[in-house]
Structure 1
Amino acid sequence: MKYQTTISQITSVDEIEGAWTKEDYVELLKRYGFSEEDYKNVDPKEFLYMAIADQEPTEAAAILLEYKLSEHLNEGQISQISHNMQLDKISEEYPEIPLHHPLFNINQLLYKAFNGKFPHAKASLIAFETKSENGEEPELTKELALKALSGGLSDRSLLNRLFADQLVGKVPFPEADAIVWELKSQGNSGYQLITSEYWLSEDDLTSQTFESDVVESKESEDEEA
């Protein structure tokens, strides 16, 4: 089915609103050796930045990785990543795509706390409208959202280079759920999508309005049946 899509805005950000909660800040401060009495008159988020900066960068990173990803990474992996992420954008380069989102959020805290000692990773907030050829507002999944946007991608874009067959529905596209970090309906055919700038940025798009052939992969169709 053909989708008509219009990009209304693409914003590059280095922090995703709501990625960390007050409960996260309190628990992390405990892990950095502080009690609530230490910051009772201070915003815990701002105090956390100071607490992180008081550590050695590798140690600070390891504490965050342990807190956020201990179910996915072993001790050796955490040690290695805590060193590597000072030099490289691990939230873009790590081979397991599902970990890119939490690694980005960890990197964001470290980048701000250490005033640029860690790489400056960015995310893209993409506001767009899309309708199917019959004029109806589709119920987009993350996979369908990427396929709707694919008609505007340049041939040089990373998504096209790595997932060309997935975008046209020739093969399943399970990676879409990890590539798209958030997808929210704004009503009236409008959506907001958040992903890494690594996967999709303003430079990857050749037009603001375009048409896409959106074909669900056979695997997606089987799951709905």
Structure 2
Amino acid sequence: MNYQIAIKRIDTVNEVEGYWSDEDLVQLLEKFNYPDGATADKSSLPELLEMAISDYETNEAAEIVLKYKFPDRLTDGQIEQIAHNMLIDKVCEEYPEIDMQGTLFHINQLLFKAYNGKFPNAKASIVHFSMTPIDGEAQKLTAENVLKLLNKGLSDRNLIKRLFENQMSQNIPFPEAEYIVWELTTTDDINYSLVTSENWINKEDITEYEFESVLEEIEDEV
């Protein structure tokens, strides 16, 4: 199907609002030895957590949050190593397991804020765009659909295009798209907002803001 693509704007942000739920904040407060989170005013939970975190050494705090988010995924040794590396590098951009990068970003930014910049400042991009079918009715698009349709408007220097050239340009499966795109929202199946790492898509990556693109049916793998 042919689509008319319009990239409206890209917002660069330090955190994605709404990622940490009230329940997350209450449970993390307990892990940071603040047991009264459940009875505290909901609006005060983020500030309380920042204060509770800052009472701990940076490495220890990172390990606590990593264990909370990845209770069965990582060994103690892996958690210790990631916590150490997070103080030096943007692990959320470099970690080889792409499906973990989004969560690592949110952890990194929670710690960055609590420690007033002791952790590197990673950034996310919120891409606002429309995808209007030229010759058919609008249908809800997946992360894979969206990235393939955006391909034509992205610079050849874009990291997604460099790492996944075939998946972006050919009608073959692109399962990694679900992890590159952290959030994809729409109210009308035409106007979308996409959240991802600035490392994956940033303002400099856009070479065309309005263009036509074709979405082909994905061929099943043999």
TM-score by length of 1: 0.92
Write out per-residue CA displacement over residues 169-205 of structure 1, whole angstroms, 9 at most, x where no aligned residue.
2532110000001111132610111111110111101
Contact (CA 8 Å) 2:141, 2:189: kept in 1 or not?
Answer: no
Quote how far apart the aligned CAs of 1:213 are. 2.8
**CA distance in structure 2 between the partners assigned to 1:117 and 1:35 by the alignment:** 26
Write out per-residue CA displacement over residues 26-76 of structure 1, whole angstroms, 9 at most, x where no aligned residue.
111111111107984681210110111111100000000000012211111
The residue type paired with residue 215 of structure 2 is V
2:167 paired residue number:
166
2:4 paired residue number:
4
**CA distance in structure 2 between the partners assigned to 1:142 and 1:184 by the alignment:** 10
1:17 paired residue number:
17
Quote how far apart the aligned CAs of 1:108 are. 1.0
The residue type paired with residue 23 of structure 1 is E
**CA distance in structure 1 between the partners assigned to 2:200 and 2:146 by the alignment:** 13
**CA distance in structure 2 between the partners assigned to 1:127 and 1:55 by the alignment:** 38
Q: Secondary structure at the match of 1:207?
A: coil
**CA distance in structure 2 between the partners assigned to 1:144 and 1:188 by the alignment:** 12
Moved more, 204-213 or 150-159: 204-213
Quote how far apart the aligned CAs of 1:93 are. 0.3
Quote how far apart the aligned CAs of 1:217 are. 2.8
**CA distance in structure 2 between the partners assigned to 1:89 and 1:37 by the alignment:** 30
Contact (CA 8 Å) 1:39, 1:47: kept in 2 or not?
Answer: no
Contact (CA 8 Å) 1:123, 1:194: kept in 2 or not?
Answer: yes
Gaps of 5+ in 2: none
1:148 paired residue number:
149
**CA distance in structure 1 between the partners assigned to 2:177 and 2:211 by the alignment:** 20
Contact (CA 8 Å) 1:152, 1:205: kept in 2 or not?
Answer: yes
**CA distance in structure 2 between the partners assigned to 1:168 and 1:132 by the alignment:** 19
**CA distance in structure 2 between the partners assigned to 1:219 and 1:110 by the alignment:** 42
Which aligned segments of 4 or more residues in structure 1 are displaced greater than 6 angstroms? Answer: none
Identity of aligned residues (%): 48
**CA distance in structure 2 between the partners assigned to 1:88 and 1:98 by the alignment:** 18
Contact (CA 8 Å) 1:151, 1:213: kept in 2 or not?
Answer: no
Gaps of 5+ in 1: none
Write out per-residue CA displacement over residues 116-174 of structure 1, whole angstroms, 9 at most, x where no aligned residue.
11111111111111122305323201100111111100111111111110012253211
**CA distance in structure 1 between the partners assigned to 2:196 and 2:189 by the alignment:** 22
1:108 paired residue number:
109
2:202 paired residue number:
201
Do the aligned partners of residues 53 and 216 (structure 1) sit closer, same or farther apart at CA in structure 2, a change above 3 Å counting? Answer: farther
Matched residues, number: 221
Do the aligned partners of residues 37 and 63 (structure 1) sit closer, same or farther apart at CA in structure 2, a change above 3 Å counting? Answer: closer
Q: Secondary structure at the match of 1:219?
A: coil
**CA distance in structure 1 between the partners assigned to 2:94 and 2:17 by the alignment:** 23
**CA distance in structure 1 between the partners assigned to 2:13 and 2:183 by the alignment:** 14
Q: Secondary structure at the match of 2:164?
A: helix
